[in-house]
Structure 1
């Protein structure tokens, strides 16, 4: 995970106390808005279908474009401050957390849609949220039996387990806080060295989003021929 990531995990409970709006309901609302569309961003499925058309029906190329687009969104200066209107709770939550939740949910949803998953299915929605945690965290949570399985297995489970909804949302909320806390620490340290601080500040969210996009690409295997 790295030093800043580890410290971010340690700081997460304290930061959560300063952002009481970051609850399970916030995480679910972020996912809903990412799928349905918010502000200048069209629904995840519509954006993914546009990429599919531009790639002449090549799903894998469309998935690549979805990832690349969202990496740019995540890394762009000022993007998260211009989204606006995600949820009322965003007023009490650092905009970086709001932006990460929206961008990453939307990217994963677009990938899942392209691979034939129903974004309205609660099993798929749980899988989308789990994917945000990243492969290492998911593996750890499965070993600790906090969640039953990785994203692909959750999305294709025989039935939806409603008890998982709160567990998954809470884990995602804590993880988002930890990532932002860790990144801010890295930026603070980086400012001691010329140029490094700026690189860290602009690149951290983009890199995290790219890693999660690649994980989603591996997890959401094709379900049906398009």
Structure 2
């Protein structure tokens, strides 16, 4: 399932960068939205397959935390949550206070905005036809793979 989702992200990145500078204003937002959609569905599927209730506020919050990829540990550490298999399971399955969930969601929001802002060199490379497709596909594939690894760690 993870490989299949990763392939979808790579295809989206490749196709969005294929047109070059002329199509960039349309394909860049479409690429960001489609890759985020694929990644969120993949994380939710991992959580569901591991027995978590997707309607729970805690699970929804940790789905967004997994979207931050390698920064997930730092986001949770900044909110006072320690990462460990048994500890994470208890945090996700038990009710966390609303204030903690709100704080986590704020940190995740800032990370995701910063994450899209750091893609400037990739966007510049997408301005070159065909090469932009290869770079976009590789970038989206790598980020989706990292997010999948993070989701597997969070949803034990």
Find 1:124's aligned residue among 27, 38, 59.
Answer: 59
- Helix, strand or coil: the match of 1:206? helix
Distance 2:100 2:144 in 1: 24
How far has the Cα of 1:166 moved from its partner?
3.0
Give aligned pairs, total.
Answer: 141
Find 2:92's aligned residue among 147, 152, 155.
Answer: 155
- Counting only pairs closer than 5 Å after superposition, residues 128-139 of structure 1 correspond to structure 2 as 128-135=63-70, 137-139=71-73
Matched residue, 1:179: 115
Cα-Cα RMSD: 3.2
- Asked whether 1:112 is paired with 2:47, we answer yes
Distance 1:188 1:181 in 2: 12
- Asked whether 1:141 is paired with 2:78, we answer no
Distance 2:123 2:49 in 1: 35
Which piece of structure 1 moves more, 209-218 or 94-103?
94-103
Bigger relative contact order, structure 1 or 2 (CA pairs below 8 A, ≥6 apart): 2
How far has the Cα of 1:108 moved from its partner?
0.6
- Asked whether 1:219 is paired with 2:145, we answer no
Gaps of 5+ in 2: 17-27
Distance 1:116 1:165 in 2: 20
- Asked whether 1:167 is paired with 2:103, we answer yes
Gaps of 5+ in 1: 1-65, 82-92, 222-226
Matched residue, 2:24: none
- Helix, strand or coil: the match of 2:42? helix
Name the TM-score, length of structure 2 as normaliser: 0.71
How far has the Cα of 1:96 moved from its partner?
3.7
Q: Deviations over 1:84-103 (max 9, x none)?
A: xxxxxxxxx93344333322
How far has the Cα of 1:179 moved from its partner?
2.6
Name the TM-score, length of structure 1 as normaliser: 0.51
Distance 2:32 2:80 in 1: 23
Q: 1:141 to 1:177 in 2, by over 3 A?
A: closer
User: Is the 2:14–2:137 contact (alpha carbons within 8 Å) kept by the matching residues of 1?
Assistant: no
Q: 1:100 to 1:165 in 2, by over 3 A?
A: farther
